[in-house]
Structure 1
Amino acid sequence: MNAMKTNLVLLIISVTLIYRINAECGKEEAFSFDCETKGTPHYYTNSEGVCSFGCKDGDRILSCEEAYPPPDQPEYKSNKCQEKAYYCAGMGNPKWSEFDDWCDFGCLVGDMLFSCEQVHFAKV
């Protein structure tokens, strides 16, 4: 009976290891965006173990916000969190949401707020 339990445990461990080795970080696990001339599309696992996407430019991996910096216009400026802004590219208007120490940025179209990845989606 113990040998059977040991074999079952070894089988479960083997299947788990094979699954983890074969599980790749790719387009099914991360939101992507169009890199245009900002680098090459690159899927990677970040320091928190989460599958992510960026534009690889030499040794740097650019986020969407880094690949599409905002223009120097007042509506894209915020004293609290300028690093979250990105170019809306004609898709809606820049919209800041701020509360105490929290802030966020999006491109507002009607009553819908679009993220950088949604504005600059990869055209496959």
Structure 2
Amino acid sequence: MDNEEAIIALAALAQSTRLDVFRLLVKHEPHGLPVGELARTVEVPQNTMSAHLATLSRAGLVTGERQSRSIIYRANLDTLRELTVFLVKDCCGGNADLCAPLIADLMPCCSSGRASQP
């Protein structure tokens, strides 16, 4: 990931509804959610949801797949990983001890099967 890609992804997430939608999709991996359910959950009209999903999609943060008459959206975890690595790649000037708390905070959601704290 380069600076421009990171800026596009961060800009897409720098809006409350889109951030909520992205976090919701991350929680529902790997199955994703249909557009209508996303719109109902975050309480926005479906056409507004489509606009938000288009922004997230252009940033590479979500993907949509048609299943019958619905489009199921999923978080693109590869892009999330790339963005996270981009942000912390040079963490603390390479001092692993200073980065350890950050890594520890990231691990509980993935290593224990528990949902992360809000």
Q: TM-score, normalised by structure 2?
A: 0.23
- Whose Rg is larger? 1
Q: Which has the higher strand share?
A: 1
The structure whose RCO (Cα within 8 Å, separation 6+) is larger is: 2
Q: Which has the higher helix share?
A: 2
Q: TM-score, normalised by structure 1?
A: 0.22
